[in-house]
Structure 1
């Protein structure tokens, strides 16, 4: 019986040591949930997906919503949104997201995700320059 349980215990230990985002895909879920909250006009819910650092900086969902409206309006009600590649950088995950706004303009955004005791949170968003188009 011990010989049979040892491989199972080793497998459980291996799975628990794997990166959290690879097991649950939670960073992309958090981003998708925030997009849904913006689409629904639910600023408190959208703000809840921001990291503690961003929440301290913006203090209220209204301040946060104002910043998003004026700096990242394409995420509020995009025509399309899809997850691209994700990469690990230390204890954070960078998730690239393609957003096509209602005018058909493509935007590439890198979402910096950090794992907190409350799960993955968005710690910042950066515009990515699109590669030049081939002719």
Structure 2
């Protein structure tokens, strides 16, 4: 799994850099607070976050992309790897909201998600998703602690 994880981190770093460099361009979009319907990939993110919060490893794993599906022998192994890789703030968050997203073609997107932790810490994540045969699936997440406190 080492080379897969290294490749995934490199890909996320490149996409994160490109995502942050995009100004208010035509394809980068802010999610309005009063949005009527979420983007289709956002419901996948919501569902995976909820599965992590309730410690439902099989459900969380079901929203992971094909690369994760073949790299982990079980949902529990995936879940434990996510916890030990530093993503516990997502699982322990009290709330999350969607920020900008950047379409990376017809079947890929980078989605900003902001989290408020139980201790009121702020985190920001960039979710990479791709549309696979079974719908939108999470390909990777880059998480960073932010300055300030949330309410």
TM-score, shorter chain, exceeding 0.5: yes
Shift of 1:101: 1.1
Name which of 135, 141, 149 aligns with 1:119: 135
TM-score (norm 1): 0.74
> If you compute each CA radius of gyration, which structure gives the higher value, 1 or 2?
1
Shift of 1:58: 2.0
Aligned position for 1:30: 44
Higher RCO (CA 8 Å, separation ≥ 6 residues): 2
SS class of match (1:66): helix
Instruction: State the distance in 2 between where 1:47 and 1:83 align.
Output: 21
The answer to whether the aligner puts 1:78 opposite 2:93 as a matched pair is: yes
Shift of 1:128: 4.8
Question: Structure 1 or 2: larger helix share?
Answer: 1
Shift of 1:59: 2.6
The answer to whether the aligner puts 1:93 opposite 2:109 as a matched pair is: yes
SS class of match (1:97): strand
Aligned length in residues: 110
Shift of 1:74: 1.1
Instruction: State the distance in 1 between where 2:92 and 2:145 align.
Output: 21
- 112-121 vs 61-70, greater mean Cα deviation: 61-70
Instruction: Spell out structure 1 runs of 4+ moving beyond 4 A.
Output: 128-131
SS class of match (2:93): coil
Shift of 1:39: 1.8
Gaps (5+ residues) in structure 1?
A: 1-22
Aligned position for 2:5: none
